[in-house]
Amino acid sequence: MVTGLVCAVCGTAVPISQALSWKCPLATDVDTHHVLHFENSVEPFRPTDDSNPYLAFRKYLAVDSFGAAIGLSEAERIRIIQETNEAVASIAGTGFLRTPLYRSSELSDALGFTAEGGVWIKDETHNVAGSHKARHLFSELLHLLFAEAAGIAPWTVSTRPPLAIASCGNAAIAASTLAAAVRWPIYVHVPPAATAEVLTALTELDADVRVCARLPEDEAGDPCVLRFREAVANGAIAFGVQGTENAWCLDGGRTIGWEMTEDMGPLMDRIFIQVGGGAFAACVGASLRSAGVHPKLHAVQTEGCAPLARAWENALATGGARNAGPRWNECMWPWETTPVSIADGILDDETYDWIGVLDSMADTGGGPVVVSEQHVMQAYEWAHSLTSVNVSATGVAGLAGLIAMRSDIANDERVVVVMSGVERVEAN
């Protein structure tokens, strides 16, 4: 179970029973470089046999520990999870289910692996809204619903403040899907480059869409994030996938790593995973560590935007990659040039959850991979010609990382590539 939260930068502790504990208490508008991580008790990894990951891994989720700490019975917590999942299914066409992990003989052969090794695909395109993003957001939503059910939320169902998110696509659709399921208003901050297909989907989900161009007076960083922070300062609830803005996004995403642990466990030698804001890789790394398996974790970014690899090198030069949070200013800052890549879903100016990703890579002997556009295009072509996964250019970044590193990997290694982000067809 989760026993509390602690800031990975300043060490401030927050009790698990504290409602709406999105950010470190010492974080300010001037000093945003704080992030809360969950502290777990040591116990055997024994999930239950349930198709819903939030029930299968419930006892390891921080949100369940929060619900228990504020007085909700186990039956009440399970009921809220089940009923909310049914509401999500009514909007999305599917609720939360375990996603497949399987060996691709075609990719394994194309990359020259032996029968003992090979490439396993963790296919997150089957998740709610077509990517891993909803997994992060559902734990945030459950936190809100648990607080309401316990009568400790500073609002009623009829006076709910709006949710707010900054996203260029998948996270926006995931957040709007969950908001629609529980009839919660939401502000979605998107860049001018957001596709017509994404904007149409958001409109159909009744989201309040706010297109955020970069203004001359804006500070460095993503203008969508700047406008999102302004909305939160005016009373909206942070409902995104950056742990710096809402630590509870680092809870539900761990279910994906726990699924991999159940399916393969210590048989995994390496995992390649896409990184934009970093919450996904941070969650997978944390979940594997808590379950006692340690495949080498490789976080993949593109040449057009690679702040994480720079932070890794800076951390190594200033005291080590692990526990680098207190050295934030020396390691992580926004990418100076305009981010460019066909893998446009991972072009975050800053890897917000870099600390957790560096910790996991350092713990496992992994490291960052920076791929070229040619690597991404090769991965996209192979994903669509050699597999049945309907994945976007963003979602093949993990495979691109494997292609880039292939000469350094033994032929009998068992490698997992995560594919997340369904290919969306542009609206006419």
Tens-digit pLDDT profile for residues 96-135: 999 999 999 999 999 999 999 999 999 999 999 999 999 9
The answer to whether 257 and 284 have CB atoms below 8 angstroms apart is yes
**What's the average model confidence in pLDDT over 399-418?**
98
Q: Note whether 204 and 258 are same-domain residues.
A: no
Summarised one tens digit per residue, pLDDT across range 23-45 is 999 999 889 999 999 998 878 89
Q: Is residue 426 part of a domain?
A: no
CB crowding 147-179: b at 16 or more within 10 Å, else e: bbbbeebeeeeeebbbbbbbbbbbbbbbbbbbb
Q: Is residue 425 part of a domain?
A: no
Q: Note whether 329 and 395 are same-domain residues.
A: yes
Boundary (domain end) residue, out of 225, 249, 273? 249
Residue 333, classified by CB atoms within 10 Å of its CB into exposed (0-12), middle (13-18) or buried (19+), is: middle
**What's the average model confidence in pLDDT over 187-203?**
92
Q: Note whether 126 and 37 are same-domain residues.
A: no
Give the three-class secondary structure for 163: strand
- Whole-number Å distance between alpha carbons of 90 and 181: 7
CB crowding 219-253: b at 16 or more within 10 Å, else e: eebbbbbbbbbebbeeebbbbbbbbbbbbbbbbbb
Summarised one tens digit per residue, pLDDT across range 160-173 is 999 999 987 899 99
Asked if pLDDT for residue 425 goes beyond 90, the answer is: no
The answer to whether 53 and 127 have CB atoms below 8 angstroms apart is no
Q: Which two three-digit tokens encode residue 426? A: 């542009």
Boundary (domain end) residue, out of 222, 249, 276? 249
Q: Note whether 8 and 107 are same-domain residues.
A: no
Q: Is residue 428 part of a domain?
A: no
Summarised one tens digit per residue, pLDDT across range 279-331 is 999 999 999 998 999 999 999 999 999 999 999 999 999 999 999 999 999 99
Q: Note whether 82 and 109 are same-domain residues.
A: no
Summarised one tens digit per residue, pLDDT across range 33-82 is 999 999 988 788 999 999 999 999 999 999 999 999 999 999 999 999 99
Residue 80: which H helix or E strand, with range? helix 74-92
User: What percent of the chain lies above the pLDDT cut of 70?
Assistant: 99
| Overall domain count for the chain | 2
pLDDT at 168: 74
- Whole-number Å distance between alpha carbons of 334 and 222: 8
Q: Note whether 391 and 369 are same-domain residues.
A: yes
Q: Note whether 137 and 122 are same-domain residues.
A: no
The answer to whether 326 and 12 have CB atoms below 8 angstroms apart is no
Q: Is residue 427 part of a domain?
A: no
- The CATH number assigned to the domain holding 206 equals 3.40.50.1100
Q: Which two three-digit tokens encode residue 11? A: 């060490």
pLDDT at 195: 87
- Whole-number Å distance between alpha carbons of 305 and 301: 7
| Residue 69 neighbours by CB distance under 10 Å | 19
Boundary (domain end) residue, out of 194, 222, 249? 249
Q: Note whether 306 and 191 are same-domain residues.
A: no
| Residue 317 neighbours by CB distance under 10 Å | 11
Q: Note whether 260 and 335 are same-domain residues.
A: yes
The answer to whether 198 and 192 have CB atoms below 8 angstroms apart is no
Q: Note whether 212 and 276 are same-domain residues.
A: no
The pLDDT-based confidence of 428 (bands split at 50, 70, 90) is very low
What is the domain range of residue 379? 101-131+253-419
Q: Note whether 194 and 294 are same-domain residues.
A: no
Give the three-class secondary structure for 189: strand
Summarised one tens digit per residue, pLDDT across range 244-270 is 999 999 999 999 999 999 999 999 999
CB crowding 185-205: b at 16 or more within 10 Å, else e: ebbbbbbeebbeebbebbeeb
Q: Which residues contact 407 (CB under 8 A, 6 or more apart)?
A: none
Q: Note whether 340 and 371 are same-domain residues.
A: yes
Token pair 């890897």 in the structure block, residue: 351
Using DSSP bridges, classify how beta strands 186-190 and 296-302 pair: parallel, antiparallel or unpaired: unpaired
Q: Is residue 317 part of a domain?
A: yes
